[in-house]
Amino acid sequence: MIKRSRLLNAPPKTLEEIYFSEIRPQLYENHAHRHQTGVRTGTTLAEHLDSACQFILTVSRIAEVPEDKRPLLLAATAVHDLNKLDPQERKVKTLARNQEFLREQLEKACVLSFVVSEDDLELVRKLIERHSGHNVSDGARFLPEDPNIERWAAMLTAADLFDLGIPDAQRFRKLEKELTVAFGRSCNLFKISISEDKGYITALLLGACEEVLQKYGLNPLAIFPDGELFEGEALANVDFTKEIAAVWQSKIDQVFGNNIERLVRPTKDGIKVTHQAIQQNIEEVLVNVEALLERKKAGYKSDKIAKDVTKWGEAAGADTLIKAAELQLLPVSSAEEFAISEGLKAAYLSYREAGLSPKEVWDKIAHHTGISELQRTAIEPFNGQYGRPLFAAKAAVKGIEGIKEALQESFQLRKESTQISEETEVSEEMIAAVSRMVNLPFAIRLNGANDLNAYVEANPRQRCSLGSTSTDIDELISDNMPPGTKVQAFSNRLPGGISAEPKRQADSIAALAYQLMAVGANFPAVKKQDPLYLHLALPKGSAPELLIIWRGLLKQLAATNAEGGTVTIDELKLYKDNQLEFKANKVVGLALPKRPDFVHTSVIIPLLWGDVNNSLALLKSLRLALEISLSLDIGFPFTLSSNLEVELSSNIYGRIEGIPSALQTLLGNGQYQQRQDAEKILERLRCIGKLATSVASIQKADDCLYDLARACVRPIELYYVLLRWTLREQDEPNLSVIWSRICEPLNTLLESFMSDENSLLTKYLKEAAQIAAEANLKGSSFNRTAQAEPFTAFSAAIRTQKPHLDLELIFAALVQQYYTRLKRIRDYGVGVTKLEQIKHYYEVLRKLYEEVYSARPEKFLSDQKTLEAAYLFFLEEARKQLKTQPQDDSVETNTTV
């Protein structure tokens, strides 16, 4: 079992904080690999105990159990399956009455400190003995006892039943029965579930659901990756959709409150201001409109404006132009006048959003800007949105100030019109989105045929680039879409087409979801990159308190960067010591959410790594994802993807989308059913990180990491990559020191693959290295080339192999030549024994050549560098083993052959 890190380091204060920071990690340390059977097949004992403990914490708080008793309920729950904790598997009743055994198990679970007195221990015993349908069989049933014990035992029974692997309808009936006793009132369970997770916007929607349902007397009981479970006495038989949509809309409006510049947009039809901006700060909106008018003035082009003047003048007619000219209604002719005309157009668009007719709009504009009654009548034939602003700009004597007055009045009208009632405030689109995305009790369901028809009948040019094709489609530029969103229609790129940027078609809610992400995450202030998205979901059945702790942790991590940008990790500590230490960074790292309500059943964290290839970005992201996901006090399922939206699944612990073929040997198929599967991948990545920092500097560790990851396709290649990087960093490296650093992680990595394809190859190489170490077969120095000398001689003989020479002759010559070489470079110790050792050495290499490479020189020579690298490291391992063995003082016979 790999050593896992912890993220919750703050001193715990509440009982829930103590559980998640101290007790829960210990449960997983003790029982994470003890699998269960029966209706709980597929889960571990640790997961069952964790589920029960979280449930008891929530239920005891709802039931208002006294604070001095809640720790005892938690202690009993942490060890309630005593029979599963006993090696002999004795009965729960027998074990509960064995005080020594009970105290031992309480201590192992880190809850013994809650049991202060003998009365406390007796209460824990009673609760354990009565849980899960066990009867009261001792004499205590005939004696007076606290009437609350029955209620508390029902809570523990419900906690034990909560994660049963049976259909929800059956499980909920069992839970309602026990909770009715626990609460002393009728109890009904209601679950809301989401059909799709779109990130921050879905988190806000679930927050709105929670807020409305709590208003009607329902309590959050547990959180699932795809929804939330509530309990209450009864649920009003009403449709909550409109009310939830109203709260959802207000939450979205609050998010954009500090990002008004994104809601005041210049378009080809004029400056448009959204309702969200007006709801937040009218003065800030006016500042943004004025700034855009200044940009319009700076971008004034007389020839383009002249074309518009001609177009709209001809549309109004020659007589209209003559009458307008008599009243000084002349077309725009300067940058200042052009800015005023754009301001008039913005005021017109804003008034129209308030529901006024074109005539009413221009009456108000004329009043605010100083246009006379005669002039107002004269411009009536011009187009209200495009023509009148061009010819009325000179007559607007109050200039920009008059336009600001008109805008302010229009904004106020719009704000009042949206505050008449909650029902009129929410658009039909938002109500439809709530009905589509959330499964609510007693909600009126939409007809899915409408969406299907919208998809089937859609114009090919309106196929969605983002989201599903529906009746609500927006045309957006790339800045308002996720990086890499493809264009569905390319007509403007054909000969004769316009030169503007192609539009992306998007479902309006999907587009809003991305815009919320863009303003709600702590992205770096640099050019937009293509991020990877880490989706972390709370485990199924999580306590609402875990969500609060999780939000606090993310807020704390985001505060690491005081300027509000990305947060990265200390890679040296991560690779060498497997420690997570977060620090601020302006360019790369995690773009954590800015607000806690962006986190609910799941959270999306964009990961940016700067100018690196996709495979390396995936490796770095996955390592970080696994370290966070598998930390002892978090343990969250995850999905790593380049997509903002991913498929919801509660049956898979981890998933990676888009694994390149070069990394599939290392990372598997990307579907990790159990926590143990993800732990195996984390162990591999940790080994690769240690290897990279052992042979390369931290500045080049990422490059080395990428090379090692690709070499895992054929694990024997790892030796060559390691040697190559060692030589790249050092001219004459001490291979003995290098091997001492890399042998442990390298062997762990190779054992993880458990591949048999190279077992014969490594067997013969290790055997040859062992003989070379024992016989001291090497050159006259300790450098790398001298160490590999006998193996290099073998490679040279294969390279110069002649077709007419058989292997017997080649290897006989090789033995004699190398024996002669040793006699020449050594003064003593080269005799008959040495000759036999050389013969044995080359016999082993001959077996390698014949059995592994079928005596085909081209196959062997293609692997020559890899084999030489592996041989050098096996040689160091053999010498290391020799040092631990007793020395043989026998003297070799120096006989001339």
Has residue 354 got a pLDDT over 60?
yes
pLDDT at 493: 46
Say what the pLDDT of residue 413 is: 87
For 497-519, the pLDDT digits (tens) are 444 455 566 667 777 888 888 88
Phi, psi torsion values for 103, nearest 5 degrees: -65, -40
Whether the predicted pLDDT of 44 surpasses 60 = yes
Element at 723 (helix H, strand E): helix 717-729
**Least confident residue range of 157-166, 335-344, 451-460:** 451-460
pLDDT band of residue 663 (cuts 50, 70, 90) is very high
Residue-level pLDDT at 897 = 36
Residue 640 φ then ψ, to 5°: -115, 120
pLDDT in tens, 204-244: 999 999 999 998 889 999 999 889 999 998 877 778 888 89
Which pLDDT belongs to residue 501?
Answer: 52
End-to-end CA distance of the chain: 56
Residue 742 has a pLDDT of 93
| pLDDT value for 674 | 84
Q: How confident is the model at residue 71 (pLDDT cuts 50, 70, 90)?
A: very high
Over residues 54-70, the mean pLDDT reads 94
Which amino acid is it at 796?
A: A
Yes or no: say if 155 and 63 are a contact pair by the CB < 8 Å rule. Answer: yes
pTM reported for the whole predicted model: 0.77
Task: Return the higher-pLDDT residue of 671 and 506.
Answer: 671
Cβ atoms of 708 and 686 closer than 8 Å: no
53-62, 268-277, 706-715, 817-826: which range is least confident on average?
268-277
Q: Quick one: pLDDT at residue 159?
A: 92
pLDDT for residue 469: 47
Tokens of 713: 């396709």
Query: Nearest 5 degrees, angle CA 274-CA 212-CA 634?
Result: 95
Pair of tokens at residue 91: 């009965």
pLDDT value for 621: 94
| Confidence at 118, pLDDT banded by 50, 70, 90 | very high
What does the pLDDT read at residue 505?
65
What confidence tens digit (pLDDT) does each residue in 437-454 have?
Answer: 888 766 555 555 555 565
pLDDT, one tens digit per residue, over 6-34 is 787 778 889 999 999 899 989 988 888 88
Query: pLDDT, tens digit, for every residue of 537-572?
Result: 998 899 999 999 999 999 999 999 988 889 999 998
CA angle (736, 738, 739) in 5-degree steps: 65
Mean pLDDT of 411-425: 60
Check residue 766 and give left, alpha or beta (phi > 0: left; psi -120 to 50: alpha). Answer: alpha
Query: Residue 653 above 50 pLDDT?
Result: yes
Q: Distance between CA atoms of 296 and 312, rounded to whole angstroms?
A: 20
Residue 480 has pLDDT above 70, yes or no: no
What's the pLDDT score for residue 896? 39
pLDDT of 581-608, one tens digit each? 999 998 899 999 999 999 999 999 999 9
Residue 430: predicted pLDDT? 84
In the chain, % of residues over pLDDT 70: 86
The confidence score (pLDDT) of residue 639 equals 92
Residues 6 or more apart whose Cβ sits within 8 Å of residue 679 = 1, 2, 4, 630
Q: Decide if pLDDT at 618 tops 90.
A: yes
User: Would you state the structure tokens that stand for residue 800, as one six-digit string?
Assistant: 């110069």
733, pLDDT greater than 60: yes
Segment 769-814, tens digit of pLDDT: 999 999 889 888 888 888 899 999 999 999 888 777 788 898 899 9
Average pLDDT over residues 340-366: 89
DSSP state of 79: T
